[in-house]
Structure 1
């Protein structure tokens, strides 16, 4: 079952499984921050100011993404 990345709780893990937005700019953004289908992600923090998400990607990299980007990513 797919869930939005933004629906995960703090310290919850998921596997990036699908994209809501498949526009070229969004795909380029994901490539730039190192997020790709199949990536393992863990929610490290949710920033209260703007709901951005701090993620650990594949256990070796930390990434900060906007809430808007998180609403376009589905995890299992």
Structure 2
């Protein structure tokens, strides 16, 4: 699987989970929901977004390395 494919799959997964979280959050508005969002959802979202940024930066570097090695 290429980095581009991996990035697309990861981005799609994040969108899916975010949509499900928004649906759950619409009917779940208490201190536990707020704590879950602050302690789990937002850190996970930020980490996935950082991983996507890293994959986007790494893809052209690896493509260049493949070209130079072939």
Higher relative contact order (CA 8 A, sep 6+): 2
Same structural fold, with TM-score higher than 0.5 when normalized by the shorter chain: no
Q: Specify the structure having the higher radius of gyration (Cα).
A: 2
TM-score, with normalisation over the residues of structure 2?
A: 0.29
Specify which structure has the higher proportion of strand. 1
TM-score relative to the length of structure 1: 0.27
Higher helix share: 2
